[in-house]
């Protein structure tokens, strides 16, 4: 397929895939940076006043779901508790469940994007808010921003 025949939504989908699982131009993808992190590391707070890796993973999971639902024309408003969910169980099983939820939610977002009408890119996904183009590029940027934070926390 020549570059001229690729839809913009397909290009965004490809960027979302690279940001999540690689290969990413900038360095390690989100999944790569999360590889090998234990529940103890994920729950730790090595930097004062910073979120833990675990909290960031839950936050990413929330926002990927919010964007997915908005693409599907659901009205979604996010509370503070949903934006930054609390970690209540710091067991290895709970950490593995958090990573599985991230993976499942990410794949659901990619499936939604693959099925999305190209016209959704121009439509506001939130009344009076950003269109699909901005929100979908935004979620790619959001994942990469937080992957960088996780990389720093992993080294701390």
Q: How confident is the model at residue 132 (pLDDT cuts 50, 70, 90)?
A: very high
- pTM equals 0.93
pLDDT single digits (tens) 52-102: 999 999 999 999 999 999 999 999 989 999 999 999 999 999 999 999 999
Angle at 60 between CA 13 and CA 85, to 5 degrees: 155
Distance CA 143, CA 16 (A): 8
Closest to 121 measured CA to CA, from 61, 48, 70: 70
117: CATH: 1.20.120.450
Domain span including residue 137:
3-155
Q: How many structural domains is the chain composed of?
A: 1
């Amino acid at each position: 397929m020549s570059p001229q025949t690729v839809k913009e939504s397909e290009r965004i989908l490809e960027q979302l895939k690279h940001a999540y699982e690689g290969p990413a131009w900038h360095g390690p993808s989100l999944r790569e940076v999360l590889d090998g992190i234990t529940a103890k590391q994920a729950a730790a707070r090595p930097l004062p006043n910073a979120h833990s890796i675990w909290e960031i993973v839950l936050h990413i999971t929330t926002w990927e779901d919010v964007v997915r639902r908005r693409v599907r024309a659901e009205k979604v408003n996010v509370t503070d508790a949903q934006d930054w969910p609390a970690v209540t169980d710091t067991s290895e099983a709970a950490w593995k469940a958090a990573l599985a939820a991230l993976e499942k939610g990410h794949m659901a977002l990619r499936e939604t994007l693959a099925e999305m009408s190209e016209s959704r890119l121009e439509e506001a996904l939130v009344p009076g808010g950003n269109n699909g183009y901005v929100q979908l590029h935004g979620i790619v940027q959001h994942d990469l921003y937080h992957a960088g934070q996780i990389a720093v926390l992993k080294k701390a």
